[in-house]
Structure 1
């Protein structure tokens, strides 16, 4: 006859595995029977007579608030729109204290983070040839003089250049016209000083 594992040892093993003693017997019955009393003798049974505390008693109350990515982005946008902390807290659905605890970085640096994101997007668009984005870059307070796009200087000759003639009159395609326009796009702007 096989030796059985003592009930106190089952309780300790089940508590360590975070399962019930019945589940332990059901799924590990063969292993428990083989181990017998030898395994029970090796276990530290000092705490076997103390019942394990239920999981609900370890963490009473509501679980800790975990802000989502969307909530963090909403707090940044709301702060950029000059919302009060109380208004942002109501919108998110938390108390002002919870807002200040979990969204401190967004409240302090969120506006700067959004502005930097926009500046990166404007820089990328300017690098791709977007004239409006280039003008925005030149009008930034820290740029050279902060000048806007300069007016086109007066032409010395009255004959228009090839790029000034509409594409349908010259007989070139849209892509060729765009290529020609891109070669002289900086002329008459603040970029003209930098490029030349």
Structure 2
């Protein structure tokens, strides 16, 4: 009989290394919920006394605030759920920054940065072009002189991950909402949520 050695004892070297990009995205989503919870607590506390009880004269205002915060929390939870579903889907999609030229680029204006969840550059670019707010951004840059504004992909400046907050247009919430509506349309009729607004004017600080 051949002696079989015992299986190796798990050590720190056998523990799978977490997906750093996934952890970063989860932290970002958690921060959104934590910030929302703190703000809602502060808004409700305005109608409570030092013992945490609702001030009698402010009960109506408290109930109105509670309703408003509950609605906002429900909307936020829906968005976070859709974002998590994208992160957990196969194939793996993570935050990807797409860098494009835009109006004034040839005269020295900085490029535009857009962030979506994608498997890579091609997927990110295709995903971006399907989003309504990006299409509105394109339409907003059309003029009589430039009915088809030059918007070119800067592949060398596009990359996985994101830069500092405020330097890019984050369209991941819109992407998640659109993905959720698409999935719902295949199962049952659903009322579409409000259409997201246009991208901000965020650009990188330097070219």
TM-score computed with the length of structure 2 as normaliser: 0.21
Say which structure is richer in strand. 2
TM-score computed with the length of structure 1 as normaliser: 0.22
Structure (1 or 2) with the larger CA radius of gyration? 1
More contact order relative to length (CA 8 Å, sep ≥ 6)? 2
